[in-house]
Amino acid sequence: MAEIKTGDFVVPGDFLATTEEFVPSEGAYEESGKIYSSCTGVVLVDVRTKHISVFSRILGPPALKRGDMVVGRIEEVRDQSANVYIGVLRGREDRELPLPNMGTIHVSQVHTAYVKEMRHQFKPGDIVRAQVLNARREPVQLSTAGDDIGVIVAACSRCRTPLEREDSKLRCPECGNLEFRKLASDYRQGAL
């Protein structure tokens, strides 16, 4: 069985880990020493706190509107933009979003400062908190320009270990790899 990792998409009843390895957190439950997903969503494995949780994505509106905060996963990074799979509308984690679920962050909306290299801001698999700029476009236009928005969980692009913050950089505790992201100020503190 493949080991579950941050960013994996799961459905209710999917096996996540054993209780010897992890503690079930939001969106997960324990049964006979095994941890399963209680909802449909994206897995967050925190190797530091040993918590495993699932960001849920369940049925029912509301529609997105300008100013909403969403949490999603970076799917693709291009020169001018990054594509985001929107998983959760913050504050309404109990409701599924109406389709489309795809968002995009344009290079001009990544940071309050000028951004040259998109690949130093995001990588596929990163979990980001972003603000909706325009929900009437498809994909939805998002921004991470602000202290409280940006990447909240990122894994090493070499070995997939969750990266640890070191000032403005990220370092892999396993292989020592040094990486950069547009970070939210509360990177890996467990909040959506």
Q: Which residues bind Zn ion (CB under 5 A)?
A: 156, 158-159, 161, 172, 174-175, 177
Closer to Zn ion by Cβ: residue 25 or 161: 161
Distance of closest approach, residue 36 Cβ to Zn ion, in angstroms: 28
Closer to Zn ion by Cβ: residue 164 or 174: 174
The residue type of 114 is Y
Query: How many whole angstroms separate alpha carbon 106 and alpha carbon 109?
Result: 5
Closer to Zn ion by Cβ: residue 97 or 163: 163
The residues near 121 (Cβ < 8 Å, ≥ 6 apart) are 77, 82, 110, 111, 115, 144, 180, 181, 182
Distance of closest approach, residue 171 Cβ to Zn ion, in angstroms: 9
Distance of closest approach, residue 183 Cβ to Zn ion, in angstroms: 17
Q: Confirm if 23 and 190 have CB atoms less than 8 A apart.
A: no
Identify the sign of the CA torsion 151, 72, 94, 133: positive
Distance of closest approach, residue 110 Cβ to Zn ion, in angstroms: 24
Angle, vertex CA 64, rays to CA 37 and CA 180, nearest 5: 65
Closer to Zn ion by Cβ: residue 78 or 119: 119
